Amino acid sequence: MLRLNNYISASGRCSRREADEYITQNRVTVNGQPAVLGMKIDETDVVMLDGIVLKPLEENVTIAYHKPVGITCTSDTTIAGNIIDAVNYPKRIFPIGRLDKDSEGLILLTSDGSIVNRILRAENGHSKEYVVNLTSNIKPGFKQEMERGVSIYNPVRSEVTKTLPCKVRILSDTSFSIILNQGLNRQIRRMCFALGYTVARLKRIRVMNIELGYLPKGKWRELTPEETEVMMKMLGER
């Protein structure tokens, strides 16, 4: 069974909120009878909006991909080493955000354009976690400097930006994990550079509630229904 407003929204005609408005305006019928808010339907029911039968669009999919170093996060298949050719998914999908060509780890790809901006919008505070290896030993005070925000230079705008507060955990003499709630271009590398360090390896291990886990490099998997449900709740879609 599926909630009627979800079914109407899945047809691509409107949002769930707009679907509820259409129902209260008596513009929706189920099996020829006026629909009511909150009702549930199944696949055998005939749903009509303004006399037009609605059919849900093809179900969207979101996948988790372990991107290797050297793959470019672009949907432009004319670019060598693009992520679309690398994943080779049998359906049109596109990456949610970017992961630098010289970085590796988790990136999500989806056929659902409605969730992309919600995930990318920094003000939503959706966290991403990385493991970083440096070329030199970490000095005292590094954790505190990173966590309170680092002033980094933006060559495109010719201005200095201070990064938002973040969470850092020292893992070894030369490695640490970091949780960010923003996504500036090459942010971690620029933060480290501003403090006198060079990144040797950068790996993203989590986006929101989705973890890379033991997914082999270069492989992908579809999100589980439970992962999708939690993610949609975090995005305010449930």
Cβ atoms within 10 Å, residue 28: 25
By CB neighbour count within 10 A (0-12 exposed, 13-18 middle, 19+ buried), where does 149 fall?
middle
Q: What is 103-152 written as a DSSP string?
A: -EEEEEEES-GGGHHHHH-GGG---EEEEEEESSPPPTTHHHHHHT--EE
Q: Which of 42, 50, 100, 102 is the catalytic position?
A: 100
Cα 188 to Cα 132: distance, rounded to the nearest angstrom: 9
| Contact residues for 187 (Cβ-Cβ < 8 A; gap 6+) | 152, 163, 180
Q: 182 — phi, psi (to 5°)?
A: -145, 170
Task: Name the pairing type of β-strands 199-207 and 104-110.
Answer: parallel
- Looking at the chain, the number of H-run helices and the number of E-run strands are 7, 17
Is 85 in the active site? no
Q: Are 232 and 223 in contact (CB under 8 A)?
A: no
Q: Mind telling me the catalytic residues?
A: 100
